[in-house]
């Protein structure tokens, strides 16, 4: 469909991944319903995979 599938293709700089992960950890409403424990390291790994 022409939409970017990776963060880099959407113009997100790699240097922002750590900040995105830290910001994701502030979303407690979503984290409390997650069936698995989520840490900042997990969030960063997800963003790195999407990069």
Q: Note the pLDDT of residue 45.
A: 98
Strand, coil or helix: 6 = coil
Residue extents of the structural domains in the chain: 8-50
Q: Note the pLDDT of residue 28.
A: 87
pTM across the whole model: 0.84
Q: Note the pLDDT of residue 21.
A: 97
Joined together, the tokens standing for residue 46 give: 């997800």
Q: Note the pLDDT of residue 30.
A: 84
Angstrom distance (rounded) from CA 2 to CA 26: 31
**Contact present, 25 and 40 (Cβ < 8 Å):** yes
Joined together, the tokens standing for residue 32 give: 């409390």
Per-residue pLDDT of the chain (51 residues; tens, 9 = 90+): 789 999 999 999 999 999 999 999 999 888 888 899 999 999 999 999 999
């Amino acid at each position: 469909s022409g939409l970017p599938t990776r963060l880099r293709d959407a113009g997100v700089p790699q240097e922002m991944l750590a900040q995105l992960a830290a910001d994701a950890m502030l979303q407690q409403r979503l984290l409390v319903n997650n069936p698995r424990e989520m840490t900042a390291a997990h969030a960063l790994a997800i963003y790195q995979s999407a990069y």
